[in-house]
Amino acid sequence: MADYINFAVTGLLHTFLASLIGILVLFMLRKHRRKARAYEKLMPPGEMGIPWIGETLDFYRALQKNRLFEDFIAPRIKAHGKTFKTRLMGSPTVIVNGAEANRFFLSNEFKLVVSSWPASSVQLMGKNSIMEKSGEQHRVVRSILTSCLSNKGLEGLVPKICKVVKDHLEKNWGDKPQEERIISLYKTAKFLSFRIMCECQLEMEAEEELFECFEKVLEGIFSPLVNLPGTSFWRAKRARAEIEKILVKLVRQKRKVIEEEQAVGGAAAEETRTLLSRLVSAMIRGEITEVEVVDNIVLLIFAAHDTSSFAIAMTFKMLAQHQSCYSLLLQEHSNISTNKTKEGEDLTMEDVMKMNYTWQVARESVRLFPPIFGSFRRATSDIEFDGFTIPQGWKVLWTAYGTHFSEDYFKDPMKFDPNRFEEPISPYIFVAFGGGPRVCAGYQLAKMNILIFVHLAVTNYNWSLVQPNEPIVMDPLPLPSQGMPLRVSPKV
Ligand code: HEM
pLDDT score for 9: 53
Alpha-carbon torsion angle 484, 210, 131, 453, nearest 10? -40
**Stretch 289-301: mean pLDDT, rounded?**
96
CB neighbourhood size of 417 (10 A): 17
Average pLDDT score over the chain:
91
**Stretch 386-407: mean pLDDT, rounded?**
97
Q: What is the DSSP letter of 437?
A: G
Helical spans, DSSP H, in 174-270: 185-195, 208-220, 232-263
Categorize the per-residue pLDDT at 24 as very low, low, confident or very high, splitting at 50, 70 and 90.
low
The pLDDT > 70 percentage for the chain reads: 90
Instruction: Kindly give the number of the ligand 1 atom that is closest to the alpha carbon of 193.
Output: 27
Cα(303) to ligand 1 centroid in Å equals 6
Cα(434) to ligand 1 centroid in Å equals 7
Q: Could you tell me if 470 and 186 are in contact, meaning their C-beta atoms sit under 8 angstroms apart?
A: no
Q: Could you tell me if 85 and 44 are in contact, meaning their C-beta atoms sit under 8 angstroms apart?
A: yes
Radius of gyration (Cα) for the chain, nearest Å? 28
Q: Could you tell me if 361 and 314 are in contact, meaning their C-beta atoms sit under 8 angstroms apart?
A: no
Collapsing DSSP to helix, strand or coil, 199 comes out as: helix
Does ligand 1 come within 6 angstroms of the Cβ of 275? Answer: no
Report whether pLDDT(282) > 80: yes
Element (H, E) at 329: helix 323-338
Q: Could you tell me if 71 and 61 are in contact, meaning their C-beta atoms sit under 8 angstroms apart?
A: yes
User: Could you give the angle at the alpha carbon of 235 between the alpha carbons of 229 and 238, nearest 5°?
Assistant: 100
Whole-angstrom Cα distance, residue 41 to residue 412?
A: 35
CB neighbourhood size of 132 (10 A): 18
Categorize the per-residue pLDDT at 373 as very low, low, confident or very high, splitting at 50, 70 and 90.
very high
Report whether pLDDT(201) > 90: yes
Lowest mean pLDDT among 66-80, 138-152, 239-253, 351-365: 138-152
pLDDT tens digits, residue range 105-162?
Answer: 999 999 999 999 888 899 998 999 999 999 999 999 999 999 889 888 898 899 999 9
pLDDT tens digits, residue range 5-16?
Answer: 555 555 555 666
User: On the CB side of 56, how many CA atoms lie within 13 Å of its CA?
Assistant: 11
- 65: amino acid identity, one letter: K
* Residue 440 annotated as lining a ligand binding site: yes
Q: What is the DSSP letter of 432?
A: T
User: Could you give the angle at the alpha carbon of 404 between the alpha carbons of 415 and 387, nearest 5°?
Assistant: 140
pLDDT score for 10: 57
Categorize the per-residue pLDDT at 264 as very low, low, confident or very high, splitting at 50, 70 and 90.
confident
List % helix, strand, coil for the chain (3-state, nearest 5).
60, 10, 30
Of 367, 247, 353, 222, residue with least CA distance to 297: 247
Categorize the per-residue pLDDT at 59 as very low, low, confident or very high, splitting at 50, 70 and 90.
very high
- Taken in order 21, 27, 30, 32, the sign of the CA dihedral is negative
More confident residue, 97 or 475: 97
pLDDT score for 172: 97
Does ligand 1 come within 6 angstroms of the Cβ of 194? Answer: no
Does ligand 1 come within 6 angstroms of the Cβ of 153? Answer: no
Does ligand 1 come within 6 angstroms of the Cβ of 448? Answer: no
pLDDT tens digits, residue range 317-367?
Answer: 999 999 999 999 999 999 999 988 777 788 999 999 999 999 999 999 999
The pLDDT > 90 percentage for the chain reads: 79
Q: Could you tell which of 440, 445, 454 is best to mutate to test the pocket of ligand 1, judged by most ligand atoms within 8 Å of the CB?
A: 440
pLDDT tens digits, residue range 179-197?
Answer: 999 999 999 999 999 999 9
**476 preceded by cis ω (within 30°)?**
yes
Collapsing DSSP to helix, strand or coil, 377 comes out as: strand
Whole-angstrom Cα distance, residue 42 to residue 64?
A: 33
Collapsing DSSP to helix, strand or coil, 170 comes out as: helix
Give the residue whose CA is nearest to atom 20 of ligand 1.
Answer: 440
Please name the fold of domain 48-490.
Cytochrome p450 (1.10.630)
Whole-angstrom Cα distance, residue 471 to residue 65?
A: 8
Does ligand 1 come within 6 angstroms of the Cβ of 312? Answer: no
pLDDT score for 267: 67
Give the residue whose CA is nearest to atom 23 of ligand 1.
Answer: 307
Collapsing DSSP to helix, strand or coil, 213 comes out as: helix
pLDDT score for 288: 96
pLDDT score for 29: 53
- Domain range summary for the chain, segments of one domain joined by +: 48-490
Does ligand 1 come within 6 angstroms of the Cβ of 433? Answer: yes
Cα(331) to ligand 1 centroid in Å equals 30
User: Could you give the angle at the alpha carbon of 109 between the alpha carbons of 103 and 115, nearest 5°?
Assistant: 115
End-to-end alpha carbon distance in the chain: 122
Whole-angstrom Cα distance, residue 145 to residue 272?
A: 14
Lowest mean pLDDT among 251-260, 283-292, 362-371, 472-481: 472-481
Does ligand 1 come within 6 angstroms of the Cβ of 131? Answer: yes
Strands 388-390 and 395-399: unpaired
**In angstroms, what CA-CA distances link 215 with 190, 245, 414, 476?**
10, 17, 32, 11
Strands 91-96 and 395-399: parallel
More confident residue, 323 or 264: 323
Of 332, 426, 322, residue with least CA distance to 368: 322
- Which regions of 1-148 does DSSP assign to beta strands (E)? 84-88, 91-96, 113-115
pLDDT score for 31: 58
Does ligand 1 come within 6 angstroms of the Cβ of 142? Answer: yes
pLDDT tens digits, residue range 27-47?
Answer: 555 655 555 555 666 999 999
- 385: amino acid identity, one letter: F
Q: What is the DSSP letter of 174?
A: -
Whole-angstrom Cα distance, residue 267 to residue 216?
A: 37
- Residues with Cβ within 8 Å of 275's Cβ and at least 6 positions away in sequence, in order, are 145, 148, 149, 201, 202, 297, 300
Range 232-254 burial, b when 16+ CB lie within 10 A, else e: bbebbbebbebbbeebeebbeeb
pLDDT tens digits, residue range 428-460?
Answer: 999 999 999 999 999 999 999 999 999 999 999
